[in-house]
Amino acid sequence: MSGMKTDLKLIDENGKRIDGRGFDELRPIKIEAGVLERADGSAYIEWGGNKIIAAVYGPREVYPKHMQDPSKAVLRARYNMAAFSVDERKKPGPDRRSIELSMVISNALSSVVFLEQFPRTAIDVFIEVLQADAGTRIAGLTAASVALADAGIPMKDLIVGCAAGKVENTIVLDLNKEEDNFGQADLPVAIIPRTKDVVLFQMDGDMTQEEIDKAMDMAINAAMKIYDLQKDALKRKYFSIVQEDEQ
Ligand code: ADP
């Protein structure tokens, strides 16, 4: 969010955004569960121009051992952007941004997993961003919760992420890259759909309380649609296993 002045018009006179969407329209989203053979659980998400894989291992032994918690499992999410995921090659390895995102994603996922059921173990979640186009933290989190369910790890519910923001003084849903770069604010949120508890809330840019409320409403409404896509992905995976077993 640079807030940089630009000649680029992000909303045209007909109220359409640069990719043709209306204010409260999501980018196209596709989710697939169980895409990796060697992980305990996995998921792939395409969300607009984002392409992200999530892989889950565990519950398994904790290394290094001093990180064990005798009362519950430790859930460690690692968010990583591939060097080829952005326009200019990104320097490989963790940076401040990826360390922060790994932490907020770990916290969000920890709020739904029944960690007490697996003391002294680790649940490792890897989020690999193959192609980035704004909104990768919420897309990665959305895929990661499907991967956890695919791994058969007991959870209260899935977690769904969605963002809304402010572009040309208008509240819009699910910012793309240009809107994120040249817009006024981005508000990524994630919820537990059944309870509507908010488990991730960040803001980049400036919005009034009224604007935040409007953006939150928009993001939460859209999250409920994304929840259906997550459940569909898991049902498709389960259904194909049942069919294989019957053959
Ligand atoms: P999010 O991806 O969750 O929206 P940011 O707001 O930090 O997170 O990033 C917005 C977008 O900016 C990313 O999705 C990506 O397309 C781009 N981006 C982030 N970090 C880099 C980087 N180091 N180099 C190039 N582009 C980046």
Per run of 10 residues, the mean pLDDT along the chain (length 247 residues) is 67 94 98 98 98 98 92 98 94 94 98 98 98 98 98 98 97 97 97 97 97 98 98 93 75
Out of 3.90.1150.10, 3.30.230.70, 3.40.630.10, 3.30.70.600, the CATH code matching 29-246 is 3.30.230.70
Q: Residue 155's pLDDT is what?
A: 98
The pLDDT score that the predictor gives to residue 244 is 77
Q: Is 124 in the pocket of ligand 1 (CB under 6 A)?
A: no
Asked whether 133 lines ligand 1 (CB < 6 A), one says yes
Q: How far is the CA of 233 from the centre of ligand 1 (A)?
A: 26
Per-residue confidence (pLDDT) for residue 189, from 0 to 100: 98
- Which pLDDT belongs to residue 6? 57
Q: Whose CA is nearest to atom 6 of ligand 1?
A: 134
Q: What is the DSSP string of 162-191?
A: EEEEEETTEEEES--HHHHHHSSEEEEEEE
Sequence ranges of the domains in the chain = 29-246
Q: Is the CB of 202 under 6 A from ligand 1?
A: no
For ligand 1, what atom is nearest to the CA of residue 50? 14
Distance 37 CA to ligand 1 centre (A): 29
pTM: 0.95
Alpha-carbon distance of 134 to 142, in angstroms, equals 14
